[in-house]
Structure 1
Amino acid sequence: MSGRRKPDWLKMRPPSGRRFTDIKQTLRDRDLHTVCEEANCPNMGECWSGRDGPGTATFMLMGDRCSRGCNFCDVQTGGMEPLDPDEPANVAAAVAEIGLDYVVLTSVDRDDLPDQGASHFAQTIREIKQRDPSILVEVLIPDFQGDEEAVRKIIDAKPDVIAHNIETVERLQWPVRDRRANYEQSLSVLEQVKRESDIYTKTSIMLGLGEYDHEIYQTLSDLREADVDVVTLGQYLQPSRTHLDVFEYVHPDAFETWRQVAEDELGFLYCASGPMVRSSYKAGELFVDAIVRDGKSVEQARREARTAAGS
Structure 2
Amino acid sequence: MSKMIVVPGLEITPARLVLSTLPDLDYGAWNSATDYKIGDRVTIDRINYEAVVDHTNRNPVTDTATPAAWITVGWINKYRMFNKQIGNTWGIGTFTSNPGAIDLTIRPGKRVNAMGLVGVVATSVRVVVTVPGTAAPLYDKTFPMSKKKGVGWYQFFFGKFARRDNLAILDLPPASNADVRVIVSAPAGTAQVGMLILGWSEVIGTAVYDTSLGRKNYTTVKEEFDGSITMTKHGKRRLVNYQIVMEGDEISNALHTLDDLSDTAALYVGSEELDYTIIAGTYEDLSVGLPTYGMGTQNLSVRSLN
Bigger relative contact order, structure 1 or 2 (CA pairs below 8 A, ≥6 apart):
2
Query: Higher helix share goes to which structure?
Result: 1
Instruction: Please give the range of the TM-score, normalised by the shorter of the 2 chains.
Output: under 0.3
Structure with the bigger percentage of strand = 2
Larger radius of gyration: 2
Question: Normalising by the residue count of structure 1, what TM-score does the alignment of the two structures yield?
Answer: 0.25
